Amino acid sequence: MKKYSLITKWLDNNLKEEELAEFKKLDEHSSYLKISAAAKHFKAPQFDRDKNYLELTKKITESKGKPIASFTIWILRIAAVFIIAFGLYFVIFNTSETTYYAENGLRTEVELPDTSDIILNAGSSLSFKEKTGIRIAIFL
């Protein structure tokens, strides 16, 4: 903590003589001097807030009148509607349901996609959706 306070005081130019001697004994003393000397050459860029604000408002007003931007937005909106409709169609209407029937007087053995076996009694059926794995069994 003492090292930190020495460095802070050195940066603020508030070191007393004994603190300065202690600061010069630090291993990083020469590195701090090099960093301080190099930092004096840095300058902040000039920034004119009013000029930049006027340039920005000019660009915004110029871009508002362009019909290409509004045309592009409408094309993107139409494309988004088609993508959503296409996705809903496949989620809702494209259900590949598999059904097995055991006819009257016969027992039927069925192997499901998860490699389990089911024996259907006479007059019963089994249907399931392959994608979701939901199984619905109907016994008649």
Q: Which has the minimum average pLDDT: 10-14, 48-52, 79-83, 96-100? A: 96-100
- What is the 8-class DSSP label of residue 137? E
| pLDDT tens digits for range 86-97 | 888 877 776 677
> With bands split at pLDDT 50, 70 and 90, how would you rate the model's confidence at 79?
very high
> With bands split at pLDDT 50, 70 and 90, how would you rate the model's confidence at 26?
confident
Alpha helices in the chain (DSSP H): 2-11, 17-24, 29-39, 49-64, 67-92
> With bands split at pLDDT 50, 70 and 90, how would you rate the model's confidence at 78?
very high
- pLDDT(134) > 50: no
Q: CA–CA separation, 109 vs 101, rounded Å? A: 10
Q: Tell me the domain boundaries of the chain.
A: 2-39, 49-92, 97-139
> With bands split at pLDDT 50, 70 and 90, how would you rate the model's confidence at 68?
low
